[in-house]
């Protein structure tokens, strides 16, 4: 099959720890055709959706080492129609560009897109979890989302706990996630001005969330494929930061999923599949869901290292099975059409 990875530029790949590269490598090893393209390379050519792609040249021998594979891969630029691929694997970094999805709308019936466009539209920011309808906070921590600064100040004052988390709706990699404390109430109005009000008169929603006790010991990243967990790891914050993101200095360690974490996956798995969110990374603290990452979830290379596994193999098995299903449905329909045609 032929797979197009819609992702950040090839030069930005970190060959040591890049989940997209691990997935690409698995596809090339299996003999699939692979091309990458970045959202900025989407192009309509004569009314057909194309992209300037980097096609990875066939290799006589594919090194099993990711760094060597990255160095040896030969790329050639070609403009290709997206509907000619079997799969588009979304690996673009957040925040989501809605125009990119408009390009893909034109090919969504022809190509298996992971994750689905509907799912990406619904879940590309933190409102997806904040609006879970979980009014008793069984799944997510107590959460408020608002632009109303007076409302937010009131919630902080009325909160029984001293600590709370404030974060932007569209952030990623830990950026803008801050710990606020009632004891520093003097700063809070200024912080809210900064987070909510932009200099051009526009404004942003912010998330105010219960601080989950134990977060200083780390959070848990679980990868789910088709609604089922396929790997988990612990991320522990550095000594000078409260955030566990690896990009914010967190380190990774082994983690066996707790009963509560397994139950959480069972609770949310069916919704993820229904929304076409087949491959996601969730962040969990104290058994509570903090975030669902749907754009370009990472963690495979770290999990592979700590567990000596090859999680990418499961992901590509799944993609292959989806393509096969699509092909079988198409062949069946062709047979039936012929039967009617020839009657």
Ligand X SMILES: Nc1ncnc2c1ncn2[C@@H]1O[C@H](COP(=O)(O)OP(=O)(O)O)[C@@H](O)[C@H]1O
Question: What minimum distance in Å lies between the beta carbon of 232 and ligand X?
Answer: 14
Each residue 271-310 as x (binds ligand X by CB under 6 A) or -, in order, gives ------------x-x----xx-------------------
**Is residue 219 part of the contact set for Mg ion (CB under 5 A)?**
no
**Is residue 283 part of the contact set for Mg ion (CB under 5 A)?**
yes
**Is residue 195 part of the contact set for ligand X (CB under 6 A)?**
no
The answer to whether the Cα torsion of 130, 134, 135, 140 is positive or negative is: negative
Among 37, 177, 196, 303, binds ligand X (CB under 6 A): 177
Kindly provide the b/e burial profile for residues 315-324, where b requires at least 16 CB atoms within 10 angstroms of the residue's own CB. bbebbbebbe
Beta strands per DSSP E along 153-218 = 163-168, 178-181, 206-210
DSSP H or E run through 269: helix 259-274
Instruction: Provide the 8-state DSSP code for 6.
Output: E
**Is residue 24 part of the contact set for ligand X (CB under 6 A)?**
no
Q: Which of residues 88-107 bind Mg ion (CB under 5 A)?
A: none
State the Cα torsion 209-211-214-219 to the nearest 10°: 30
**Is residue 209 part of the contact set for ligand X (CB under 6 A)?**
yes
* DSSP-derived 3-state class of residue 76: strand
**Is residue 172 part of the contact set for ligand X (CB under 6 A)?**
yes
Among 115, 245, 296, 301, binds ligand X (CB under 6 A): 245
Residue 2 phi/psi, 5-degree rounding, is -115, 130
Backbone dihedral region of 129: left (phi > 0), alpha (psi from -120 to 50 degrees) or beta? Answer: alpha
**Pairing mode of beta strands 87-91, 112-114:** parallel
Question: What minimum distance in Å lies between the beta carbon of 206 and ligand X?
Answer: 12
Cβ(236)–Cβ(218) under 8 Å? yes
**Is residue 215 part of the contact set for ligand X (CB under 6 A)?**
yes
Among 10, 132, 211, 278, binds ligand X (CB under 6 A): 211
Q: Which of residues 109-148 bind ligand X (CB under 6 A)?
A: 141
Choose between 210 and 291: whose C-beta lies nearer to Mg ion: 291
- Judged by beta carbon distances under 5 to 8 A according to partner kind, the member of ligand X, Mg ion, none in contact with residue 285 is ligand X
Q: Which residues lie near ligand X (CB under 6 A)?
A: 141, 165, 167, 171-175, 177, 209-212, 215, 219, 243-245, 283, 285, 290-291
């Amino acid at each position: 099959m032929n797979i197009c990875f819609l992702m950040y530029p090839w030069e930005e790949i970190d060959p040591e720890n890049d989940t997209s590269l691990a997935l690409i490598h698995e596809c090339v090893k299996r003999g699939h055709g692979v091309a990458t393209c970045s959202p900025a390379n989407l192009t309509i050519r004569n009314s057909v959706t194309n992209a300037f792609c980097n096609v990875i040249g066939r290799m006589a021998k594919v090194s099993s080492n990711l760094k060597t594979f990255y160095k040896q891969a030969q790329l050639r630029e070609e403009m290709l129609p997206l509907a000619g691929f079997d799969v588009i694997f979304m690996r673009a970094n957040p925040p989501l560009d809605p125009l990119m999805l408009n390009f893909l709308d034109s090919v969504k019936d022809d190509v298996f897109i992971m994750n689905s466009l509907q799912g990406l539209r619904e879940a590309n920011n933190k409102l997806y979890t904040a609006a879970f309808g979980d009014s008793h906070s069984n799944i997510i921590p107590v959460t408020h989302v608002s632009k109303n600064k007076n409302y937010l100040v009131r919630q902080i004052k009325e909160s029984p706990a001293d600590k709370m988390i404030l974060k932007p709706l569209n952030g990623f990699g830990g950026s803008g996630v801050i710990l606020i404390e009632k004891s520093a109430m003097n700063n809070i109005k200024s912080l809210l001005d900064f987070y909510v009000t932009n200099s051009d008169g526009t404004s942003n929603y912010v998330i105010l969330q219960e601080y989950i006790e134990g977060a200083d010991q780390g959070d848990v990243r679980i990868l789910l494929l088709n609604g089922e967990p396929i790997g988990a790891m612990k991320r522990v914050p550095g000594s000078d930061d409260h955030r566990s993101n690896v990009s914010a200095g967190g380190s990774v360690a082994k983690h066996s999923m707790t009963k509560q974490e397994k139950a959480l996956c069972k609770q949310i798995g069916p919704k993820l599949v229904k929304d076409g969110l087949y491959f996601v990374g969730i962040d969990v603290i104290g058994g509570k869901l903090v975030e669902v990452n749907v754009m370009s979830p990472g963690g495979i290379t770290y999990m592979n290292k700590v567990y000596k596994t090859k999680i990418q193999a499961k992901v590509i098995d799944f993609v292959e099975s989806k393509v096969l299903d699509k092909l079988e449905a198409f062949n069946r329909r062709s047979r039936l059409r012929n039967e009617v045609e020839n009657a």
